[in-house]
Chains A and B, each alone.
Chain A
Amino acid sequence: MRTTHPSQIISAILLRLRHHAGLFIILLVGIIFLTPTHSAQAYSYLGHKWSNSQAGFYLDIAGWDPALIQGPASTWNNAGSPFRFKLLGNNVYKPGDRLNTVARYVINSPKLAITNYRWDGSGNLTEADTIFNMNYGWGCCGESDLYDVKNTMTHEFGHWLVLDDLYSWTWDRNKTMYASSVPGETKKRTLETDDINGINYIY
């Protein structure tokens, strides 16, 4: 009977792999990225939606250029779904009035901005409001010492769609729905694939 030393078997396997080194490396990279500890969610949707696939909104942002809010609205409008945000005019923020409003006030909170939303008995959204916290300095153009309005509003409009915050620094930090920001940050202005998949899943 012929016996084979284990090292001979391994050697034979490696010799075969020598001709498929590229495949071997791709396999290793695949293992790294498909490791079962990959817990990040592509997007997180909390289950309510706008019944007619649109949300008109008003502005209560005296002194700010409306384009700072319209820009992020267009970003989501161009994400490939039939859903549309539409600017309807100016308004004074009043919670519970069923008028979706973007406002700016001082809030006693560490948050840069907050979004509140309400829904009816059928689970359809009836109102969403975003309030920018004027405890912080706001900029239009990615100034290094200011928080960027468009960056933040793009994230907050994601909440209007009932997309939830994402928290994985490793997997989510470049996505619009990542849960924190820093001064000068503008990367949330651009939707990542998972953000786009989020809105297209809902609508």
Chain B
Amino acid sequence: MKKEFLRKNVWYLSLGVVALAVVTFFGSKLYIENQHQQEISQYLEKNKPVIPAGYEQEIIMHGLFPDEPTFTHVISSADVILEGTVFDVTPAYSDEHGILYHDVVIKPEKFLENTPQLSAKENINVTVLGGGKDKYISWGEDLPAFRKGEKVLVALAQSGSKAGSYYVSYDAYGKFTIEGDRIVGIASDQGLIDTTVADMEKRIKAELANK
């Protein structure tokens, strides 16, 4: 009876199996992508600055990334990757065109990539778009946020206009926070990355080996 059933309906059963496999494959893919996006949104929401008293208006800043902010792109586009501690976060200032920036001064402790041969004895100046100035606060949801004393791993690219200055590669995607032996950050292809520092260093070295 069973054999007869299978013989008669083999085409439909095969179609059913293929359809189920396709639904499962795409469903899983979409589910994972959805999870990653939710994790990234939640991470970036926490990143949003508190508007200090006395500031009247936000200026929202959007931008277009030069490629997908995947873990591979973040690492491969960096000239410098270091672990260190945020020594200072300066007040915002305008450049000659009126574009708002603030600087983050990082005391390096360990270099994983150091193309320009920076010294571990000297602090690194990282320029970040946005900040609060003249009653205005300018920010973008995917800009990296730093706080004084924070231990971080950052992927940095050399600034094209300011000698000795760097910016964070792919903004918030190039900054990871270290707490104890854990490190937390985001990548567009991996969502929230929450792992050990040792594992992160291993992943970065693997990416750099393929650079």
Contacts and interface: CB of A to CB of B under 8 A. Distances in A.
Contacts of B5: 7-8, 10-11
B60 A108 contact: no
A17 B95 CA distance: 70
B47 interface: no
Interface string B2-33: 10010011001001000100110011011101
Contacts, number: 150
Interface stretch (A65-73, A81-89, A90-98, A189-197): A90-98
A131 B136 CA distance: 19
Interface in B129-183: 129, 136, 138, 140, 157, 159-162, 165, 167-171, 174
A159 B34 CA distance: 23
Contact of A113 (B31, B64, B127, B129): B64
Contact of B62 (A95, A164, A168): A164
Nearest to B20: A28
Contact of A180 (B8, B69, B157): B69
B21 to A, nearest CB: 11
B30 A35 contact: yes
A35 B26 contact: yes
Interface residues of B, number: 58
Contacts of A95: 59, 94, 98-100
A18 B127 CA distance: 66
Contacts of B196: none
A134 B99 CA distance: 14
Contact of B97 (A105, A169, A180): A105
A108 B101 contact: yes
A11 B8 contact: yes
B99 A107 contact: yes
A112 B62 contact: no
Contacts of B136: 96, 118
Given A24-B15, A108-B165, A181-B67, 5 more contacts: A11-B9, A135-B161, A167-B188, A179-B64, A180-B64
